[in-house]
């Protein structure tokens, strides 16, 4: 049991406690599951297929229509912001409790993360805690290593499952949110954001549409803002996030003993805002910092460091030298 202090008062929730030393969450007894309904499965499939089709349309439109500098800025700016919302908010703060912050910052991170169109905090947290407690073993929701086939066919199947298949498969079951992420199932600001998740996805589409329309004073430009700052941006953010699950459990270095196949992938480290230093992360899951060397760029850590300097983050966890040395291989 833990007690969470929020602006709405102290709320008692049977939240799982991570191991103080390792930061790992143990799986709840019985490993409860909930079957995914067909509506959710088709919504998930739509979020894979529709952006991909519209990206093809956007690329085709480069011949003739082209793309304005503002659209590139909107795509990169909103892309970076929403990846950080997921990385700093959904992942490091909500799933791992790697630092503490104010109720307003928690809500702001939940809103920015929701604009990435990757679902609710409580669903993310439940899947992610289960991923860590079963990493690359039976029960891991999105490991590329838990299929039975070998060779090229097995590798392709594993990659597909870890990247997309795990949330579009017909017989998919979710880890129970009440058991794996109970602190997000009781009233709080973050739960209110979760309950209006679709609204925030829409806001994330409307922002680039309005900015582009007003800047260029045309409806056509508004449409291009929606396309590049909204849909193409969501497509890129999705595949970067999903690559942490697929690419970062397949290719890269393993400087630390993490007990699984998690790897540090240089490219994903940069474009994933620090999430691609995934072997570091699996070795020290409750660390606020994923890029542990000076050259391992970690934009998420830059955000947390800045929040700390502003007095908006505290109890910021980073592994001690002793733990780093003990886990090195």
Site for Zn ion in 258-277 (CB under 5 A): 262
- Looking up tokens 């793309």 gives 67
Q: Which residue is nearest to Zn ion (CB)?
A: 262
Q: Of 53, 12, 18, 109, which is closest to residue 307 (Cα–Cα)?
A: 109
Q: Which is nearer to Zn ion, 262 or 273 (CB)?
A: 262
Residues 6+ apart with CB under 8 A from 165: none
Residues in contact with Zn ion, shown as a per-residue x/- string from 205 to 244 under the rule CB under 5 A: ----------------------------------------
Question: CB–CB of 288/258 below 8 Å?
Answer: no
Q: Which is nearer to Zn ion, 250 or 262 (CB)?
A: 262
The one segment of 27-35, 56-64, 176-184, 256-264 that binds Zn ion by CB under 5 A: 256-264
Smallest separation (angstroms) from Zn ion to the CB of 32:
21
Size of the site for Zn ion (CB under 5 A): 1
The one segment of 48-56, 166-174, 216-224, 257-265 that binds Zn ion by CB under 5 A: 257-265
CA 128 centroid distance within chain: 9
Cα gap 321→202, rounded to integer Å: 44
Smallest separation (angstroms) from Zn ion to the CB of 58:
30
Structure tokens at 203: 């806001």
Q: Which is nearer to Zn ion, 15 or 207 (CB)?
A: 15
Structure tokens at 57: 């349309």
The one segment of 44-52, 181-189, 200-208, 254-262 that binds Zn ion by CB under 5 A: 254-262
Half-sphere exposure at residue 325, Cβ-oriented, CA atoms within 13 angstroms? 3
Q: Which is nearer to Zn ion, 181 or 262 (CB)?
A: 262
Smallest separation (angstroms) from Zn ion to the CB of 53:
29
Smallest separation (angstroms) from Zn ion to the CB of 285:
5
Q: Which is nearer to Zn ion, 75 or 125 (CB)?
A: 125
Structure tokens at 167: 């949330």
Smallest separation (angstroms) from Zn ion to the CB of 264:
12
CA 77 centroid distance within chain: 17
Smallest separation (angstroms) from Zn ion to the CB of 129:
8
Q: Which is nearer to Zn ion, 133 or 209 (CB)?
A: 133
Which residues of this chain interact with Zn ion, rule CB under 5 A? 262
């Amino acid at each position: 049991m833990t007690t969470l202090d929020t602006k709405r008062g102290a709320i008692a929730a049977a939240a799982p406690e991570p191991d103080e030393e390792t930061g790992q969450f143990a799986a709840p007894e019985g490993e409860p599951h909930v079957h995914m309904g067909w509506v959710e499965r088709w919504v998930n499939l739509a979020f894979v297929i529709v952006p991909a089709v519209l990206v093809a349309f956007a690329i085709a439109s480069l011949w003739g229509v082209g793309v304005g500098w503002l659209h590139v800025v909107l795509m990169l700016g909103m892309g970076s912001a929403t990846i950080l919302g997921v990385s700093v908010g959904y992942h490091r703060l909500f799933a791992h409790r790697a630092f503490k912050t104010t109720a307003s910052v928690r809500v702001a991170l939940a809103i920015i993360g929701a604009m990435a169109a990757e679902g609710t905090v409580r669903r993310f947290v439940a899947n992610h805690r289960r991923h860590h407690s079963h990493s690359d073993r039976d029960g891991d929701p999105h490991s590329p290593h838990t299929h039975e086939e070998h060779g090229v066919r097995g590798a392709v199947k594993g990659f597909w499952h870890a990247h997309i298949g795990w949330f579009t498969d017909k017989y998919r079951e979710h880890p129970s949110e009440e058991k794996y992420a109970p602190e997000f199932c009781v009233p709080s600001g973050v739960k209110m954001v979760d309950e209006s998740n679709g609204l925030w996805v829409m806001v994330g589409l409307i922002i680039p549409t309005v900015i582009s329309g007003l800047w260029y004073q045309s409806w056509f430009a508004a449409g291009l803002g929606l396309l590049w700052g909204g849909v193409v941006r969501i497509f890129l953010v999705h595949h970067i996030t999903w690559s942490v699950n697929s690419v970062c459990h397949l290719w890269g270095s393993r400087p630390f003993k993490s007990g699984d196949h998690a790897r540090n992938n240089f490219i994903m480290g940069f474009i994933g805002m620090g999430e691609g230093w995934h072997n570091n992360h699996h070795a020290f899951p409750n660390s606020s910092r994923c890029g542990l060397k000076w050259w391992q760029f970690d934009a998420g850590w830059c955000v947390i460091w800045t929040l700390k300097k502003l007095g908006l983050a505290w109890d910021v966890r980073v592994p001690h030298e002793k733990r780093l040395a003990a886990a090195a291989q």
